[in-house]
Amino acid sequence: MQHGPAVRRRKLGAELRALRAGAGLTSGEAARLLGWHQSKVSRIETGTSGVKSTDVTRLLDVYAVDDPELRGLLTVLAGAEDDGRHHWWHAYRGVLPPAYRDFISLESQARGMRTLETSVVPGLLQTPEYARAVTRAAVEGLEDCKLDALVEVRLARQDVLRSRPPLELDAVLDEAVLRREVGGPEVMAHQLRRLCDAAALPQVRLQVLPFTAGAHIGVTGPFVIFSFSNTTDLDVVVLDHLTSSLYLERKEDLQAYSEAFDALQFHALSPEESLDYIAGIADGA
């Protein structure tokens, strides 16, 4: 169990090591081709030191990696804040904590996202008014300018659902998410209608876990599983806490959370039933 940057470096290093081996090069040979010391390649591959996105690009060139999706993913995993011109969230660096930037960078390159939410609507499906109310409640005493910026970030993140190809979102919502009145009746009614609209999107699979399902494995708390199209070795589970986020990368952890999510989907209402359920709550709001 580690914090985001450490996990990201280890995952990146492991992938680069595999690509080097696939290219038939030793670490020494790769270093000579780049004019580096062998220890630099070793530090990158073991994740003991950070690596610039420009260095990742050079390594991928030497290893003859031409898959644009894989190149983009590995560049983002490098923590490419040194190349922030290419990432929209760089403009908000002053208000975003590192853990949130890590989350956004993974979200921007993921193929799929599976999420269990037990308290609030997933950020990718929030309306502006709901996002403002949630953010204001989560961070007390926040200045209006910073609140505005964080809401802008929340809304900008939603572009991944409209990209080509779009992020595939599978979300299981505990009924408490739908019943908790955030921002007042009008804001909540609008948010529920937004969920109904989102549920109709082909890239979104939305399921409700009703109160009648009783106790379930998700009572331990919400979580997110990111999946990537190029390699399952980069998949990661994210757990949010009040002051930090934890990233789980072990295969055992990924399997446990994947199985938990499958169980939650099994016990939840079907997407069609969930849409009717949300609409029914919205009509009564």
pLDDT tens figures, 76-132? 667 544 444 457 887 888 888 877 888 888 888 889 999 999 999 999 999 999 999
Do strands 112-117 and 168-174 pair parallel, antiparallel, or not at all (unpaired)? parallel
Q: List Cα–Cα distances, 200 to 141, 181, 227, 262, 272, in angstroms.
A: 37, 23, 22, 21, 9
Query: What pTM does this model have?
Result: 0.79
Mean pLDDT of the chain: 87
**Which pLDDT score, from 0 to 100, does residue 76 have?**
66
Per-residue pLDDT of 44-87, as tens digits, reads: 888 777 788 888 889 999 999 988 877 877 776 675 444 444 57
Per-residue model confidence as pLDDT tens digits over 192-212: 999 999 998 999 999 999 999
> What pLDDT was estimated at residue 7?
63
Strand residue runs (E) in 80-167: 112-117
Q: Which helix (H) or strand (E) holds 245?
A: strand 245-248
Distance, in Å, from the CA atom of 67 to the CA atom of 80, rounded to the nearest integer, reads 18
Long-range contacts: 84-90, Cβ < 8 Å, 24+? 88/156, 89/153, 89/156
Mean pLDDT of 219-229: 87
pLDDT given for residue 283 in this prediction: 85
pLDDT of the residue at 244: 66
How many Cβ atoms are within 10 Å of 42's Cβ, its own excluded? 16
